[in-house]
Amino acid sequence: MLRKARVFKSGKREFECKIFETNEMVMATALGNLLKGDENSIVVGDYVMIDEHNTIMEVLKRTNEMFRLIVREQKKKVTASNCDLMVIVSSVSRPEYKRGIVDRFLVRAHQWGIRPLMVFNKMDEYDSATLDIKFEFDRMNNLGIECFEVSAAKQDYKNQFLELGLEDLKQRLQGKTSIFLGQSGVGKSKLISAASEGKINLLSRDVGKVGKGKHTTTWSEIVDCDTMSLMDSPGIRSFGVEDLLEEDLITYFPDIEEGAVQCKFSNCAHTEDSPGCFFYSKLDQNAYETTLIMSRLESYLRMREEISETPSYLKK
Ligand SMILES: Nc1nc2c(ncn2[C@@H]2O[C@H](COP(=O)(O)OP(=O)(O)OP(=O)(O)O)[C@@H](O)[C@H]2O)c(=O)[nH]1
Ligand SMILES: [Zn+2]
């Protein structure tokens, strides 16, 4: 009899799977034709059917995939699947809020088909002189993204600028598989601990030193508790976008695309001196709404430049 299970951890030939009915973890192997020498064939997050010998017989259809494009080989490398939510974590104090990074994660959320949520963390240290949270909220709200105002360190912090706080975030995560993304130091680990009421404690897990002496917490694949599941996969947290195709980028910026189709020329550079540019000739440059969209345009143009500067033979 086949049992439904989910891949929690994937190796080259062995997969740690959680059986649905019993919640039991088993090590499974896979039918050769499911692997086909292609490492994309079974990934973390996959729902699978396994037999009584713990052999994976079938991979069920994915609702979404997290991947990078390998332009040179015209392939995509899938690293995880079936993720419900992308929780974009930012800090309002230190490290300072980086709009450009948030927009990069939004591009991925769009590309991968994962619903993004936005968390403004470290609100206990919020200083309106250095950041206008209302502006950042409006930017996200225009895109239909829910925003949460929290302090992972001071969990009794009460949200005062935005409608939603930590309790609302916990509710959204209930029963869902989420991935937490954000720059190093924004408080992902602490937030995960707060959101799971201490049930998932990454702070006590592997803490490795990576890069410039910064701590980067790593955990493997899926970790879950009775309220939420977390997913992680190598490479998924990088915010470079150089693997994207230039012509695809705009489709991940629906708000910019809507304006860009109204520019006089289809190859408009969207700069102040571009003739007939919708953004500069049709919008009231003093209007608040315009400043919101222009800040999105800035992100778009920066990413477009980054993509076009990467020669395709380097896109691996
Ligand atoms: N004041 C304040 N400090 C916080 C808050 N959340 C996290 N911190 C602190 O910020 C630092 C970084 O928090 P982490 O949870 O390790 O951040 P991270 O995003 O997981 O960082 P990486 O593991 O490097 O990716 C720690 O010193 C935390 O105690 C908060 O809400 N308020
Ligand atoms: Zn234009």
Write down the pLDDT at residue 37. 59
Mean pLDDT of the chain: 90
pLDDT over 70 at 209, yes or no: no
**Total domain count, the chain:** 3
Same domain, 85 and 217: yes
Q: Which of 119, 126, 179, 189 to mutate to test the pocket of ligand 1 (most atoms within 8 A of CB)?
A: 189
pLDDT over 60 at 24, yes or no: yes
Which residue range is the domain that position 105 belongs to?
A: 81-231
pLDDT per position as a tens digit, 135-160: 999 999 999 999 999 999 999 999 99
pLDDT over 50 at 213, yes or no: no
Residue 155 lies in a domain: yes
Residue 240 lies in a domain: no
Same domain, 224 and 97: yes
When pLDDT is cut at 50, 70 and 90, the band that residue 40 belongs to is low
Residue 49 lies in a domain: yes
Same domain, 125 and 89: yes
Residue 237 lies in a domain: no
Same domain, 38 and 169: no
Same domain, 111 and 159: yes
Ligand closest to 89 (CA) is 1
Known binder of ligand: residue 225?
no
When pLDDT is cut at 50, 70 and 90, the band that residue 195 belongs to is very high
Q: Could you tell me the CATH number of the domain that includes residue 21?
A: 2.40.50.140
Same domain, 24 and 133: no
Residue 180 lies in a domain: yes
pLDDT per position as a tens digit, 169-191: 999 999 999 999 999 999 999 99
Query: Last residue of a domain, which of 12, 30, 61?
Result: 61
Same domain, 217 and 104: yes
Write down the pLDDT at residue 316. 54
pLDDT over 80 at 207, yes or no: no
Same domain, 9 and 120: no
Query: Last residue of a domain, which of 198, 231, 264?
Result: 231
Residue 285 lies in a domain: yes
Same domain, 11 and 108: no
220 lines ligand 1 (CB under 6 A): no
pLDDT per position as a tens digit, 45-80: 999 999 999 999 999 999 999 998 887 787 888 989
pLDDT per position as a tens digit, 238-282: 888 989 998 999 999 999 999 999 999 999 999 999 999 999 999
Same domain, 133 and 196: yes
Residue 68 lies in a domain: no
Write down the pLDDT at residue 220. 55
Please spell the DSSP secondary structure of the chain, one letter per residue. Answer: --EEEEEEEE-SS-EEEEETTT--EEEEEE-HHHHTT-TTSS-BT-EEEE-TTSEEEEEPPPS-EEEEEEGGGTEEEEEEE---EEEEEEESSSSPP-HHHHHHHHHHHHHHT-EEEEEEE-GGG--TTT--HHHHHHHHHTTT-EEEE--SSSTTPPP-SSS--HHHHHHHHTT-EEEEE--TTSSHHHHHHHHTTTSS-GGGS-EEEETTTEEEE---SEEE-SS-EEE--TTTT----TTS-HHHHGGG-HHHHHHHTTSSSTT---STTSTT-HHHHTS-TTSHHHHHHHHHHHHHHHHHHHHHHS-GGG--
Same domain, 213 and 259: no
**Mean pLDDT across 101-108:** 97
Residue 75 lies in a domain: no
Question: From ligand 1's centre to the CA of 148, what distance in Å?
Answer: 16
Q: Could you tell me the CATH number of the domain that includes residue 174?
A: 3.40.50.300
Known binder of ligand: residue 122?
yes
Same domain, 8 and 134: no
